[in-house]
Amino acid sequence: MPPLYPGGVSQAELEARLRQIRNEIRQLAAEAGSQSAQTLITTYIARAVATLNYSDLSNVPTSFNPSAHAATHAAAGTDPLAPADIGAYTTAQVDALLAALANARLGYVGMPTASQLDWLLVARDLTIPAADPGVAFARTNPADGDWIATVQLNGASQGTLTISTAGLVSWAIGADIVLAAGDRLELVAPATPDSAAADIQVAFKVVP
């Protein structure tokens, strides 16, 4: 078997390439006339590099780590990223979220009466995630058993909020509650009042 040179090139292939180079230099010399040998070689190399494909090279990396370029993706950079490109909220969405967080609270001062309703009018399109609807607190825990309130959207039940006698809070919301501007988010106390539960506050976790 003929010997192989670096890169798996055979002797025959190497000789063929050398002949090609020799012919190219001769042609270049004919075109250049009286130019020096150094100029000829420089011109030849420049032509060769100009037509060289990366795929023709061997023993080179298949990929490269990019150089530091974070500034190009800034707002004033040459390739700015939009908030959606990285899963971030826009300024308008953050403003809406902060406003909603400040207002998405329901509850009762003192002891809630039978089926007492507290509600708020929604000003923006928002969502309450079923997996983590919010937090709740009772200054005085229920004494007669679990305190179970109903969470409603425009009068239709979306699930329940439970506060145990030990003050533990749990939710049972079947699906994300999708709110539109003008909707009513409602909290309805149990039909049978608890003898102790009082000062109950609920803060819903809303996202744009």
Spatial separation of the C-alpha atoms in residues 56 and 152, rounded to whole Å: 67
pLDDT in tens, 86-101: 777 777 777 666 665 5
Q: Please compute the mean of the pLDDT values over residues 19-35 and round it to a whole number.
A: 69
Q: Report the domain count for the chain.
A: 2
pLDDT for residue 201: 96
pLDDT in tens, 45-66: 666 656 666 666 666 677 777 7
Give the residue from 46, 73, 100 where a domain finishes. Answer: 73
Query: Do the domain assignments include residue 178?
Result: yes
**Domain range enclosing 48:** 4-73
Is the same domain home to 102 and 38?
Answer: no
Q: Which amino acid is at 180?
A: A
pLDDT in tens, 179-200: 999 999 999 999 999 999 999 9
Is the same domain home to 65 and 113?
Answer: no
CATH number at residue 149: 2.60.120
Is the same domain home to 100 and 18?
Answer: no
Is the same domain home to 148 and 54?
Answer: no
86-89: long-range contacts (C-beta < 8 A, 24 or more apart)? 89/208
Does the pTM surpass 0.75? The reply is: no
Is the same domain home to 99 and 67?
Answer: no
Query: Do the domain assignments include residue 191?
Result: yes
Is the same domain home to 96 and 197?
Answer: yes
The answer to whether residue 154 scores a pLDDT higher than 50 is yes
Spatial separation of the C-alpha atoms in residues 135 and 114, rounded to whole Å: 22
Is the same domain home to 28 and 65?
Answer: yes
Question: How far apart, in Å, are the Cα atoms of 4 and each of 10, 11, 57, 58?
Answer: 5, 7, 16, 14
Side-chain-side CA neighbours of 72 within 13 Å: the count stands at 6
Query: Do the domain assignments include residue 134?
Result: yes
| % of the chain residues with pLDDT over 70 | 73
